[in-house]
Structure 1
Amino acid sequence: MNIHITNLHNIGGTATLAMDGVVQIAKKLDFTEMGVMKRQFYEDYWNTISHHLDGTIASLYHGDIVFFQYPTWNGPDYDKVFVDKIKLYNDVRLVIFVHDLQKLMFDSEQSILDTEISILNKADVLILPSVKMHEYMINNGLRDDIQVLYQKIWEVPGFPCFKEHQNLKKMLFTGNWNRFPFLESYHGKTIVEHFDYQKPPRDDDSSFTWRNGFKPIQLMRELSKGGYGLVWCDKEYLERYYSMNQPHKLGFTLASGIPVIVRNGCVHSDFVREKGLGYVVDSLEEADNLVQNTSDEEYAKMISNIAPYQYMLLNGVYTKKLLMDALICVLEK
């Protein structure tokens, strides 16, 4: 019996960083990588995709276990064909590790969600971002007899541990301008530094500055210098998506060693509040006021609170436990 785990190649960005981080940890547990390519659509795409997938699963045998990191970002129809091929093998057990629901992320039509749920219903065990997302899926047709585990937080194994942090009066945000309208409307004493490869339409001013994009390790180095990692979205997006999903930037920021600012109601608001890892607020005005009035001693206390979590996030402790728990679940079924 072999244990396989899918991994996405040739796309870049957070999707690849998240999947590859899980695979790094899985390989230390003797999982075998099953590489997935981001496919470009072309005229004869659907006539050839079956052959591509035959190559992808060539190492699969009857009785194996597959950890499928969902989605592959090739579209729900592709993922459906992929999962159907895996399930053709006798006694293959399937764990689907849900990173995102495309319906929630992009506010797609209901038919997209129906396809996604049909894929997830074929799992023996599901790993989900939150209880709230599980409830949402149940209300939209997910089988209620599937065993479910919940992810704690995204990790970034193998990154260096930065330990020098200053109480800088700034909020650091990574993300696409078009998806986060607050970047245009925010005006406060605390400057927001925006990290993204695409230059935004807003010019630098006393409340906002564009820092360009950085490769992940360089970005972590920049964040680690000090300030607060801003894990934020507008209220409508919170209700539709951020209240259910696991934002990679939260784990990435804490792994950088600095405090976070999160919106009340997000998946991690209780975690951040109870562990003293930053601030949980209802508005950016509240965040601005808190940052401006945080003393060096208060900031140092948050840094101290973060230190053990920084260690765990850089060493994949939570993900290792999650993968082992899922493996135990599927073997005991």
Structure 2
Amino acid sequence: MKLYQIVEIAGNDNHAGTKATSDIAWIAENIGFKPVSIRMRSTALSKAAKLQRQVGYLKDWHQACRTIEKDSVVLLQHPFHYPQLTREGALRKLKEQRHVRYICLVHDVEKLRGFRYNAYYEHEFLTMLDLADVLIVHNDRMADYFIKQGVDGSRIIKLGIFDYLQKDDGGRMPVFAREIIVAGNLETVKCGYIGQLGRLAPLKVRLYGPNYDEKMGAYDNICYGGNLPSDEVPSKLDRGFGLVWDGSSIEGCLGDAGQYLRYNNPHKLSLYLSSGLPVVIWNGAAEADFVRGNGLGLTAASLPELIDRMARLTEEEYLEYVRNISSVREQLIHGCYGRTALQKALELVRR
């Protein structure tokens, strides 16, 4: 039985979105899933460029159908973010004529995330449910959601947490500090809570990422460290706590983006833990149980409560979190969670 994976090749930005998919692709390739590339040849918006893209996709999907052998297992990462007119037809042809079986690894469920959901993503989701022989989802709560959509629970594997592949620096120890770090998109319109972080003074907040609002510099407790490539960010996560939060308010994870934390495994959590950094996470998040159960940091209903909690935090308590992170970090940087999930999915699909 041959193993393949469909790999979308496109531009790369300095945020976690593309690293999650590339890490899974690397992990999958290292356990035998041969990459089959579908390339975006142009990002231009002209009609000619759009036509060129679709012609390129047609060629790549045609080649994919020629490459993937009968009775193979194919890994798909969902959702596909770029419209490809020939994709669904090619995938159905492989399933119906070549009898391939699909493992579908879910990165995002746009219906749950809300603000990006449209007819395109609705069709993508329904197509995935129809094609998938096995689904790899984030956690128990997301699994429950899929079961409510009619998916047989015996076809579902739970990832637990996304890996974050990086070089092993020998387990660098973060420094005890009563401060928090936010690494990621800093757009205050999309992430309204970021624009309110100045209210947490005297609690210091360090920011790294794109779309920084220069007005934030007016707050004495805010320090901006720049927009760095994803492979450079871990070296800056050297003290305090990484913040796992989203939505419109520091009073709780409100709005579509904030409520999405009830279901998803934020890649930001993996970034912090793989760097050895304890975290602060919203207590309503699906991954709050993972953080609490492994003693990896603090859970909070609101960010203002951290002012007092940080003031009372001792260095010994902080170092206990750091020690607890050590074994989890080793697994994250070497791809253990993704590898385990893929191996379980292969066992299921081969039955």
The normalised TM-score by structure 2 is 0.85
- Cα shift at 1:48: 5.9
Does the C-alpha gap of structure 1 residues 119 and 58 become closer, same or farther in structure 2, counting only changes over 3 Å?
Answer: same
Partner AA of 2:117 in structure 1? S
Partner AA of 1:242 in structure 2? L
The answer to whether the Cα contact below 8 Å between 1:8 and 1:16 also exists between their aligned partners in 2 is no
Secondary structure at 1:67's aligned position in 2?
Answer: strand
Q: What residue in structure 2 maps to residue 230 of structure 1?
A: 243
- What does residue range 163-312 of structure 1 map to in structure 2 within 5 Å? 163-176=172-185, 177=187, 178-186=189-197, 187-188=199-200, 189-204=202-217, 205-223=219-237, 225-234=238-247, 235-237=254-256, 240-312=259-331
- Cα shift at 1:202: 2.6
**Which has the higher mean CA deviation after the structures are superposed, 281-290 or 251-260?**
281-290
Q: What residue in structure 1 maps to residue 9 of structure 2?
A: 9
Q: What residue in structure 2 maps to residue 53 of structure 1?
A: 61
Partner AA of 1:70 in structure 2? H
Does the C-alpha gap of structure 1 residues 11 and 111 become closer, same or farther in structure 2, counting only changes over 3 Å?
Answer: closer
The answer to whether the Cα contact below 8 Å between 1:261 and 1:280 also exists between their aligned partners in 2 is yes
Does the C-alpha gap of structure 1 residues 56 and 293 become closer, same or farther in structure 2, counting only changes over 3 Å?
Answer: farther
- Cα shift at 1:174: 1.8
- Cα shift at 1:330: 0.3
Number of aligned residue pairs: give it.
330
Pick aligned residue for 2:158 from 150, 156, 168: 150
Identical aligned residues as a percent: 23
- Cα shift at 1:194: 1.6
Q: What residue in structure 1 maps to residue 336 of structure 2?
A: 317
1:135 counterpart = 2:144: yes
Does the C-alpha gap of structure 1 residues 239 and 113 become closer, same or farther in structure 2, counting only changes over 3 Å?
Answer: farther
Q: What residue in structure 1 maps to residue 101 of structure 2?
A: 93
Q: What residue in structure 1 maps to residue 21 of structure 2?
A: 19
C-alpha separation in 1, matches of 2:54 and 2:84: 13
- Cα shift at 1:146: 6.5
C-alpha separation in 2, matches of 1:82 and 1:292: 58
Give unpaired runs (5+ residues) of structure 1.
none
C-alpha separation in 2, matches of 1:199 and 1:68: 34
**Which has the higher mean CA deviation after the structures are superposed, 306-315 or 160-169?**
160-169
- Cα shift at 1:99: 0.6
**Which has the higher mean CA deviation after the structures are superposed, 36-45 or 243-252?**
36-45
The answer to whether the Cα contact below 8 Å between 1:24 and 1:157 also exists between their aligned partners in 2 is no
Secondary structure at 1:73's aligned position in 2?
Answer: coil
The answer to whether the Cα contact below 8 Å between 1:169 and 1:292 also exists between their aligned partners in 2 is yes
Does the C-alpha gap of structure 1 residues 209 and 51 become closer, same or farther in structure 2, counting only changes over 3 Å?
Answer: same
**Which has the higher mean CA deviation after the structures are superposed, 253-262 or 189-198?**
189-198
Q: What residue in structure 1 maps to residue 250 of structure 2?
A: none
Partner AA of 2:182 in structure 1? F
The answer to whether the Cα contact below 8 Å between 2:57 and 2:84 also exists between their aligned partners in 1 is no
Name the Cα RMSD after superposition.
Answer: 2.4
The answer to whether the Cα contact below 8 Å between 2:166 and 2:231 also exists between their aligned partners in 1 is no
The answer to whether the Cα contact below 8 Å between 2:61 and 2:86 also exists between their aligned partners in 1 is no
The answer to whether the Cα contact below 8 Å between 1:259 and 1:306 also exists between their aligned partners in 2 is yes
Secondary structure at 2:104's aligned position in 1?
Answer: strand
Question: What do residues 211-243 of structure 1 show as CA deviations (whole Å, max 9, x unaligned)?
Answer: 2111222100101x1111101013223664111
C-alpha separation in 2, matches of 1:121 and 1:319: 23
Partner AA of 1:97 in structure 2? L
Pick aligned residue for 1:122 from 125, 131, 143: 131
The normalised TM-score by structure 1 is 0.90
Does the C-alpha gap of structure 1 residues 43 and 297 become closer, same or farther in structure 2, counting only changes over 3 Å?
Answer: closer
**Which has the higher mean CA deviation after the structures are superposed, 153-162 or 57-66?**
153-162
C-alpha separation in 2, matches of 1:324 and 1:37: 27
